[in-house]
Amino acid sequence: MKKQIDWLPILIQCRDNLKRQIAPLLKTLKQPKPSLGIGAGGDPIKLVDLTAENAITETLKEYGLSFTLISEESGIKNYGENPEENYVTVDPIDGTTNLMRGIPFYATSIAVSTKPELTTVHTAMVTDLFHGTTYTAKKGEGAQRDNKKIIPSEKVTLEDAVVGIDLNTYRASEVAPRLTSLIEKTKHIRHLGANALELCYVADGTTDAFIDIRGKLRTTDTAAAWLIINEAGAKITTPKGEPLNAKLDPKEKLTFIAAANQKIHKTILSLIKEA
Ligand code: IPD
Ligand code: CA
């Protein structure tokens, strides 16, 4: 029989090991580093990304776990005797550009699922590596920030909402016009540069919505925050309002509308033009 694993303490251990291992690198960010090639998600790999990923797999191996790693950096890799028992989807550093440039907003995202499929994620952690805040969730048990239950905001109008929109795309001439009506009705638009963490900001009421319809965001960045958002009681759907699902794979991309509550979610959907 498959043994029950208490994943949350293990993910916390991954976080602590990762923080220890990347600490020396954070002091030498400006020094030139050797080129490490392109990661499975399609971006150039930085030493800090690889060090963070190694810290995660090293910790999981120390626990003697069997798992399939789905990572933005080294792609899909099997560990242990029964790797199909657990899928661990990671973005070792979400917001690498922020980290490299000294912008204090970057995170680690880890999601555990029973299949390589978003809707089977049952345990999740997103940790803000600069501020030391950790978001966690277990399916059916709610979401927490630093072990305290979180709930999304109750704001229902765009006039005073804070809405995150990722428009970081060379295809802006195609994507931006779909968002013009929404932008015109929203007073406070943001993009902070680490989407896993920005989704957690919707989960805990720091912001009221986060929108990414570029067709560019990887499932590795989204998997953990998807559970955190759902467990907190916020909403995350496709731009058409359908439930979100995707294959967990570093090459798979997602578009979504995340919002604090049904009402503001509906308003946002009604303002976004179809592709
Ligand atoms: C990036 C961040 C950023 C988003 C990019 C992502 P990465 O993640 O989430 O906010 O605009 O599309 O790739 O590359 O730093 O893991
Ligand atoms: Ca990354």
Ligand 1 atom with the shortest distance to the CA of 191: 10
Residues 113 and 242 in one domain: no
Total structural domains within the chain = 2
Clarify whether residues 229 and 259 are in a common domain: yes
Would you say residue 175 lies in a domain? yes
Same domain, yes or no, for 11 and 138?
Answer: yes
Domain match, 30 and 115 both: yes
Residue 30 is assigned to a structural domain of this protein: yes
Task: Report CA torsion sign: 118, 119, 125, 127.
Answer: positive
Ligand 1: residues with CB < 6 A are 43, 72, 91, 94-97, 166, 168, 193-195, 216-217, 221
Closest ligand to C-alpha of residue 196 is 1
Q: Give the residue numbers spanning the domain of 219.
A: 162-271
Q: Which atom of ligand 1 is nearest to the CA of 218?
A: 13
Last residue of a domain, one of 149, 181, 210: 149
CATH of the domain at 52: 3.30.540.10
Ligand 1 centroid–CA 5 distance in Å is 30
Q: Among 117, 149, 181, where does a domain finish?
A: 149
Nearest CA to ligand 1 atom 12: 217
Q: Is residue 140 part of a domain?
A: yes
Residue whose CA is closest, atom 5 of ligand 1? 217
Residues 109 and 166 in one domain: no
Domain end position, chosen among 149, 184, 209: 149
Q: CA-to-CA distance for 182 and 123, rounded, in angstroms? A: 33
CATH number at residue 183: 3.40.190.80
**Structure confidence at residue 215 (pLDDT):** 96
Whether 117 and 60 map to the same domain: the answer is yes
Of the candidates 245, 253, 244, the one whose C-alpha atom is nearest the C-alpha of residue 220 is 253
Smallest CA-to-CA distance from 169 within 233, 253, 54 is with 253
Q: Which atom of ligand 1 is nearest to the CA of 220?
A: 16
What pLDDT is recorded for position 40? 87
User: 108 CA distance to ligand 2 centroid (A)?
Assistant: 8
- Whether 14 and 136 map to the same domain: the answer is yes
Which candidate, 65, 60, 63, 87, places its Cα nearest to that of 76?
87
Q: Are 116 and 245 in contact (CB under 8 A)?
A: no
Q: Give the distance (Å) from ligand 2 centre to CA of residue 102.
A: 16
Question: Closest Cα to atom 10, ligand 1: which residue?
Answer: 193
Identify the nearest ligand to the CA of 43 by its number. 1
Q: Same domain, yes or no, for 56 and 127?
A: yes
Report the residue among 195, 197, 222 best suited for mutation to probe ligand 1: largest number of ligand atoms under 8 A from its CB: 195
Assess if residue 155 is contained within a domain: no
Ligand nearest to the CA of 90: 2
Say how far apart CA 209 and CA 191 lie, in whole Å: 11
Query: In terms of domains, do 109 and 174 share one?
Result: no
The pLDDT of residue 1: 60
Spell out the alpha helix ranges (H) of 27-129. 47-62, 96-101
How many helices (DSSP H) and strands (DSSP E) are in the chain?
8, 13
Q: What angle do CA 33, 37, 38 make, to 5 degrees?
A: 125
Q: Tell whether the torsion through CA atoms of 52, 40, 108 and 47 is positive or negative.
A: positive
Do residues 26 and 144 both lie within one domain?
yes
Query: Would you state the pLDDT for residue 33?
Result: 81
For residue 1, being part of any structural domain is answered with no
Per-residue tokens: 274: 């179809």
Same domain, 142 and 29: yes
Do the domain assignments include residue 154? no
Q: Is residue 144 part of a domain?
A: yes
Ligand nearest to the CA of 52: 2
Distance CA 43, CA 132 (A): 26
Rounded to 10 degrees, the C-alpha dihedral 237/238/241/245 comes to: -60
pLDDT in single tens digits along all 275 residues of the chain: 667 899 999 999 999 999 999 999 999 988 878 788 898 888 888 899 999 999 999 999 999 999 999 999 999 999 999 999 999 999 999 999 999 999 999 999 999 999 999 999 999 999 999 999 999 999 999 999 999 999 999 999 999 999 999 999 999 999 999 999 999 999 999 999 999 999 999 999 999 999 999 999 999 999 999 999 999 999 999 999 999 999 999 999 999 999 999 999 999 999 998 88
